[in-house]
Amino acid sequence: MDATREIEVLIRAKYPILFISSWEERRVEDAIRKVCEKLNRQVHTWSVTQGMQPAVRRASGPVKASSLPGELEALAQIHESAEFTVFLLKDFHPYMKDTRVIRLLRDLAARLRGKAQTLILVAPQLVLPVELEKDVTVLDFPLPEQDDISRQLDSVIAAMKDVPNVDVSLPDDLRESIVRSAQGLTADEIESALARSLVEEKKLTVDKIIEEKKQIVSKTGMLEFYPSSSSMKDVGGHDLLKDWLVKRSKSFTDAARDYGIPFPKGILIIGVQGCGKSLVAKAVASAYNLPMLKMDVGRIFGSLVGQSEQNMRRAIKIAESLAPCVLWIDELEKGFAGMGSGVSDSGTTARVFSTFLTWMQEKTKPVFLIATGNNVQQLPPELMRKGRFDEIFFVDLPDTKEREEIFRIHLSKRKRDPKKFKVAELAKATAGFSGAEIEQLVVGALNHAFFADREVTFKDIKEEAETQVPLSRMMSEDITALREWATLRARPSAKLGED
């Protein structure tokens, strides 16, 4: 049910006290005034700074001066007021720890239940003493939906269409991207982001909306807003994985919902260290034009009893409020390393992991989860089953063709022409090297040449490769075991090629 419609139903049904949890005080007040105008009810608002507006005429006579504290005087005025009134108390939650306030609210609940009067409390967080649990009805006032954002966007366009040097024309695909990206923001935040975009860019863009979401994440401390500086062009190899991701890039659109396609859940990428798992994760956010959040599981765990579970729920709520977005968890098995040690941490890790698993299975918001892992032996089986992720990919060491591509990428990133280096010969000389190790070969050769005060050459990179021992040789047994595991349990990220 629509929040405004639900408020109307509860007022007409004579529910005595409502508690609306929302940051959007202005939207809530507008909705209440709209309902009261329809029901022919008078609205009185109270705040600690403004008092009761307008002043309430009590049933027994006019307003009298009072020596009571403001919060108690407000409740006293409500207690003696006439019928067909609605009272909106703003940020009243700090006073609900006072036993006198609790008692007055309980008295009011009994008095208002049979009258055409309603008391509405609005605050950004829910504070409800146990004594009031049966007397107060809690409502969540949702953030602006797509239709609300679209109307707000139309009003901005109408207001700015005649302003010189400002382009407010919007193609359908850009409009949908802006509306989709703005979900999770308050109406005021959307207005600020659109205004900033028009001031800085002289047009409406998605970038400023993502900047606004970055501000929200930075204030919480639970998640980290990760800039998507990489693109799919920076990823060498992994053709099957990149093709899978590209084919799902349209799955976040409304057309996909109409076609019957659900929001993508996410992917688990496992494989050899240094072969581009994290790089792929960062490139996805850029390719999908979505904000990227990184969850450091270490930040979730707290020292107090129940704090870790609460932090996980809060992190999930933040991610969902910013949806659609990409949520990245790097080295998943290390984050939940305490799964097998329930005695030492009193089962905290197991409970946190259970909360996370349930959310993965049941989530309805478009949060695309990308998890990476190295040691599959530490991953619990319940994480691997279908339904948690859309697909599990195995990332192996690059073959000869992929190593050529990786050399070209890293040489180009460092302003060198790959054609001047015998890339094919370098690729053959680096069998068993990972992408990260190839990058370090290029960096090492650049350092050597820079110290000698000359330009880097093919010979520098070749000599650097000859002195390095790749991880695939040092841990050949572990990598062989990982490949055997992945053969029947995961999807390869690239076609098998020549090594």
How much is the average pLDDT of 245-250?
Answer: 84
Range with the lowest mean pLDDT among 25-39, 184-198, 209-223?
A: 209-223
Distance (Å, rounded) from C-alpha 258 to C-alpha 148? 20
Domain for residue 64, yes or no?
Answer: yes
Domain for residue 429, yes or no?
Answer: yes
Phi, psi of 188 (to 5 degrees): -65, -40
> Are residues 130 and 36 part of one domain?
yes
> Are residues 385 and 261 part of one domain?
yes
Range with the lowest mean pLDDT among 105-109, 129-133, 479-483?
A: 479-483
What pLDDT sits at residue 218? 79
> Are residues 125 and 107 part of one domain?
yes
Domain for residue 483, yes or no?
Answer: no
Domain for residue 496, yes or no?
Answer: no
Domain residues for the domain of 350 are: 232-395
What pLDDT sits at residue 497? 59
> Are residues 342 and 317 part of one domain?
yes
pLDDT in tens, 46-85: 999 988 888 766 555 555 556 778 888 889 888 888 788 9
Range with the lowest mean pLDDT among 139-143, 199-203, 216-220, 432-436?
A: 216-220
The pLDDT > 70 percentage for the chain reads 93
Residue 343: pLDDT band with limits 50, 70, 90: very low
> Are residues 248 and 381 part of one domain?
yes
pLDDT in tens, 349-388: 888 888 888 888 888 888 999 988 887 777 777 777 777 8
Per the structure, the count of domains in the chain is 4
Taking the whole predicted model, whether its pTM rises above 0.85 is answered as: no
Domain for residue 225, yes or no?
Answer: no
Residue 6: pLDDT band with limits 50, 70, 90: very high
How much is the average pLDDT of 476-497?
Answer: 79
How much is the average pLDDT of 160-179?
Answer: 85
How much is the average pLDDT of 164-192?
Answer: 86
SS (H, E, C) the chain: CCHHHHHHHHHHCCCCEEEEECCCHHHHHHHHHHHHHHHCCEEEEEECCCEEECCCCECCECCCCCCCCHHHHHHHHHHCECCCEEEEEECCHHHHHCHHHHHHHHHHHHHHCCCCEEEEEEECCCCCCHHHCCCEEEEECCCCCHHHHHHHHHHHHHHHCCCCCCECCCCHHHHHHHHHHHCCCCHHHHHHHHHHHHHHHCECCCHHHHHHHHHHHHHHCCCEECCCCCCHHHCCCCHHHHHHHHHCHHHHCHHHHHHCCCCCCEEEEEECCCCCHHHHHHHHHHHHCCCEEECCHHHHCCCCCCHHHHHHHHHHHHHHHCCCEEEEECCHHHHCHHHHCCCCCCCHHHHHHHHHHHHHHHCCCCEEEEEEECCHHHCCHHHHCECCECEEEEECCCCHHHHHHHHHHHHHHCCCCHHHCCHHHHHHHCCCCCHHHHHHHHHHHHHHHHHCCCCCCHHHHHHHHHHCCCHHHHCHHHHHHHHHHHHHHCEECCCCCCC
What pLDDT sits at residue 229? 63
Residue with tokens 């050459």, as numbered in its chain: 457
pLDDT greater than 90 at residue 249: no
Closest CA to 237 of 421, 401, 372, 374: 401
> Are residues 150 and 180 part of one domain?
yes
* Average pLDDT, rounded, for the chain: 84
Q: What is the CATH number of the domain that holds 72?
A: 3.40.50.300
